[in-house]
Structure 1
Amino acid sequence: MQIQVNTGHNVEGHEEFSGQVKTKIEDALNRFSKHVTRVEVHISDENSDKGGMNDKRCLMEARLEGRQPIAVTHQAESLNLAVQGAIDKLKNVIESTLDRLNNH
């Protein structure tokens, strides 16, 4: 499973943060690794210098073998919460997609 993390220019410490995000995704999606070929992550701070509630955004797109890509997004007040929310959503969508495939 390939994981590519893209951060907006307003995200500080993007190299170290990207490594942490990859580790979180690998841990969360490990049991689906034979089905997931690639995960693309886009992390941004929607209104950087102004601040505000839920202005951090994480979009994740997973590509499952032989299926259309699955995309989820989550917004929160911190980058970590935005990433974790998107991971949780992606995990649930992949799980339900694979369950539906197995039940047919």
Structure 2
Amino acid sequence: MEIRLNTDNNFTASAAFLEKVSEELKKKLHRFSEYITAAEVFFGDENSNKTGVNDKRCTIEVRPRHLHPEAVTHYADTVDHAFNGAVDKIRNLLDNRIGKLQSR
């Protein structure tokens, strides 16, 4: 599974952070690895330099084999919480989509 990481102009991430995110995503989506060809993670800060509630955004898009791409977005107070929320959402979505394929 190929993983691409992106940030918007309002959010800068260190190489260590991006590596951690990549490894965490591989680990959490491991059971779907034979079905997913690529995953793309987008991080953003909705309010730029201002503080705000739930202003950090993480969108995860996956490209399953033989299916249309799917994407989820989660907003939270921190980037870590946004990432973890998006991972939970994409795992639930993949459980649903892949589960239907397996039951056929």
Is the shorter-chain TM-score for this pair beyond 0.5, marking a shared fold?
Answer: yes
Alpha-carbon separation, structure 2, partners of 1:66 and 1:73: 22
Q: Which amino acid letter does the alignment assign opposite residue 17 of structure 1?
A: F
Query: Over aligned residue pairs, what C-alpha RMSD do you find?
Result: 1.0
Which ranges in structure 2 are unaligned for 5 or more consecutive residues? Answer: none
Q: Which runs of 5+ in 1 are unaligned?
A: none
> What SS does the corresponding residue of 2:67 show, helix, strand or coil?
coil
Matched with 1:43 is 43
Query: Does the aligned pair in 2 maintain the 1:7–1:14 contact within 8 Å?
Result: no
Counterpart amino acid of 2:66? G
The farther-off stretch of 10-19 and 91-100 is: 10-19
User: Please, what TM-score do these two structures have when normalized by structure 2?
Assistant: 0.95
Partners of 1:17 and 1:5 in 2: how far apart?
A: 11
Following the alignment from structure 2 to structure 1, what is the Cα–Cα distance between the partners of residues 42 and 71? 11
**Partner residue, 1:63:** 63
- Asked whether 1:4 is paired with 2:4, we answer yes
Partner of 2:87 in structure 1? 87
- Aligned-residue offset at 1:101: 1.0
TM-score w.r.t. length of structure 1: 0.95
Q: How far apart in 1 are the matches of 2:53 and 2:31?
A: 34
Aligned length: 104
User: How far is 1:29 from its partner?
Assistant: 0.4
Deviation at 1:12, TM superposition (A): 3.3
Runs of 4 or more consecutive aligned structure 1 residues displaced over 6 Å after TM superposition:
none
**What's 1:54 paired with?**
54
| Identity between Structure 1 and Structure 2 (%) | 38
CA displacement at 1:54 relative to structure 2: 0.1
